[in-house]
Amino acid sequence: MSRMLQITDIHKRYRKPEGTVQALRGVSLHVAPGEFVVARGPSGCGKTTLLLTAGGLLSPEDGQVLVDGRDPYALAPEDRARLRASTVGFVFQEFHLIPYLTVLENVMVPSLALPVRAPRERAEELLEHFGLSARARHVTAELSTGERQRAALARALFSRPRLLLADEPTGNLDPENSAAVLEHIAEFARAGAAVLMVTHDDRAEDYSHRTLRMQEGGLVSAELVDSPGASGGLSR
């Protein structure tokens, strides 16, 4: 099985005035193309640290991360940034949309780091897919919470990444909007991308292929679940 993301025995520590916090303790996992993997666990168990390390944003002290067969931490900073821009999409709980840009402009922001053919057409395609065409020229303050998360997801998919990393993407959403976002993420995996999502939301397990359990910086179990049943997918 090919592996878009391979993490092997990674450790991460944070040094604070009160002592050292072991955020990750020998974590190993993999995510294949077309697979939606969820990591769950209590607050402070290392989920966000795991995601940032997987995405080339936070270097581990020990162990190895491979994204599409390349170690981002072995690359020069500009090459690491290029790998992230071309291969990885990020979705965060707090959206991180730029408030003074329109929704359309927010979705197009990744084109500043990596040229995309016909960027406006690509952004408009995504906004239509996510039901946001009527909001394209609105600023983000004029959007509902669910609309902001869908806009953030559209931005993450703009460059057609092969790996999507999602940090609590349903954390601020009501059940209806949570289900919509989870379905969109599962759809992207069905289209052939690899997805790693960290969350408290137990509903994510209804959409994923595997659930990893985290506790105190380590993985304590991995469970297989039924593959998401709906067919079709968003063209990447």
pLDDT at 221: 74
Domain chopping of the chain, boundaries: 5-224
pLDDT in tens, 133-147: 999 999 999 999 999
Token duo for residue 143? 């959007």
Q: How far is CA 51 from CA 19, 29, 153, 163, 233, in A?
A: 23, 12, 16, 12, 24
Q: Quote the CA–CA distance of 65 and 56 in Å, as a whole number.
A: 8
Answer whether residue 233 shows pLDDT above 50. no
Are 98 and 106 in contact by the 8 Å Cβ rule? The answer is yes
Buried b (16+ CB within 10 A) or exposed e, 152-181: bbbbbbbbbbbbbbbbbbbeebeeebbebb
Q: What is the CA radius of gyration of the chain?
A: 17
pLDDT in tens, 71-117: 999 999 999 999 999 999 999 888 899 999 999 999 999 998 888 88
Confidence of residue 56 (pLDDT cuts 50, 70, 90): very high
pLDDT at 231: 39
The fold of the 5-224 domain, in CATH, is Rossmann fold (3.40.50)
* 172-178 average pLDDT score: 89
Instruction: Quote the mean pLDDT of the chain.
Output: 90
Token duo for residue 51? 């995601």
